[in-house]
A and B are shown apart, each in its own frame.
Chain A
């Protein structure tokens, strides 16, 4: 599987965010997207999953399922956690597992992996920011998708949780997955490709 972008241009609100961005990521590789605030890191991820229209350029996926769009074969971990405060931790994850086409047993396993098993019955309203983040990461484990698109995945996570996420990303890459991550810091993964958006600070 290989995901390539050719001369992508992104426009938001009539303003050009970035232009002529090209990259190519193969299965088992991680692309770290860096750049100053407003350089378009999040926009690039949203373009790839189809939440923003492409102004110019092309996205090509080789070796994926031709029946499905790129977004339908990807997990997107955005700034927001997509959790409902009125539902419990278990109910939130079970919903996303069901909606994304996974099995209930995998949801139970995933909640164990992110270390939230003891809080299963707690309404998500009472979770801390880091716990909410971990719960939405559990979605990526519960349902298998070949591509992960992570927007600042380490935000709000404590050191132990960051290590666990790094291990999860490594495992995903080892299974032949493909990861695009917008990040400021280091993800602690050797041999990652880098894409820097924005030439200089303006």
Chain B
């Protein structure tokens, strides 16, 4: 097995086992979205209008939830030393870890979104647009968040710093993700425009994220 393949399988295994973050993220997502109708009231038109925004916000928070352990767990038990020393380039190592994280925490959100969308009075067309934007947008959240996780790796309670560092950087993804998902409404931006920009943001984060995270880890480990 290749080094990166072994790492991908290990990280996915850990996150679906006891104490892993996979199920927590999607449960948090479901709970936050399910609470919204209670807070806002049963106005179906209103829920339908703000549904995509609520789902996107909940997905953003849920994907940050387990992110602080992405490198901190490996730092605490000494694995990070060996990952840094390894023959695989560190940029690819961190990208592999982020991919494993997205597959176990981001992808379940995308799958759960249309189901929970029913609570917010979204119909099939809204759901399709929403799922598509989440599928494209959540990798960007993971790869941007990864940089914060790398910076906060050696800190106790790094999760708080992570949220403060990362949330502002996710604003563009949030804007265009929600814009594309809401394009079904009159007066909103057309789906294609916002969706293309969302794709571009994701592609950029896939390139920049691993380099920034690897550089942060090299500094931090000293």
A interface list, Cβ under 8 A from B: 12, 46, 49-53, 68, 71-72, 74, 76, 78-87, 91, 94-96, 98-101, 104
Contact = CB atoms under 8 A, between A and B. Distances in A.
A195 to B, nearest CB: 22
Interface stretch (B15-23, B138-146, B162-170, B189-197): B15-23
Contacts of B2: 98
A87 B79 CA distance: 13
Contacts of B14: 84, 86-87
Given A53-B222, A100-B86, A80 B3 contact: no
24 contacts: A49-B85, A51-B81, A52-B222, A68-B87, A71-B85, A72-B86, A74-B85, A76-B82, A76-B85, A78-B81, A79-B78, A80-B76, A81-B78, A82-B77, A83-B77, A91-B10, A95-B9, A95-B10, A98-B2, A98-B5, A98-B6, A99-B10, A100-B3, A104-B1
Nearest to A80: B78
The 8 closest A-B CB pairs, nearest first, are A80-B78, A98-B6, A86-B17, A71-B85, A82-B78, A98-B1, A95-B10, A82-B79
A99 B85 contact: no
**Chain A at the B interface: mostly helix, strand, loop or mixed?**
loop
Interface of B: 1-3, 5-7, 9-10, 13-14, 17-20, 76-79, 81-88, 221-222
Contacts of B20: 86
B85 A84 contact: no
Given A82-B81, A82-B82, 13 more contacts: A46-B81, A51-B81, A81-B77, A82-B78, A85-B19, A87-B13, A87-B17, A94-B6, A98-B1, A98-B3, A98-B6, A99-B88, A101-B3
A79 B3 CA distance: 23
A78 B78 CA distance: 8
A91 B10 CA distance: 8
B221 A51 contact: yes
Given A86-B14, A87-B13, A101-B87, A95 B81 contact: no
A100 B83 CA distance: 9
Given A86-B17, A98-B1, A98-B5, A50 B85 contact: yes
Nearest to B88: A99
Nearest to B80: A82
A95 B9 CA distance: 8
B48 to A, nearest CB: 41
Contacts of A84: 10, 14, 77, 79
Nearest to A13: B222
Contacts of A53: 222
Nearest to B18: A86
Nearest to B9: A95
Contacts of B82: 76, 82, 96, 99-100
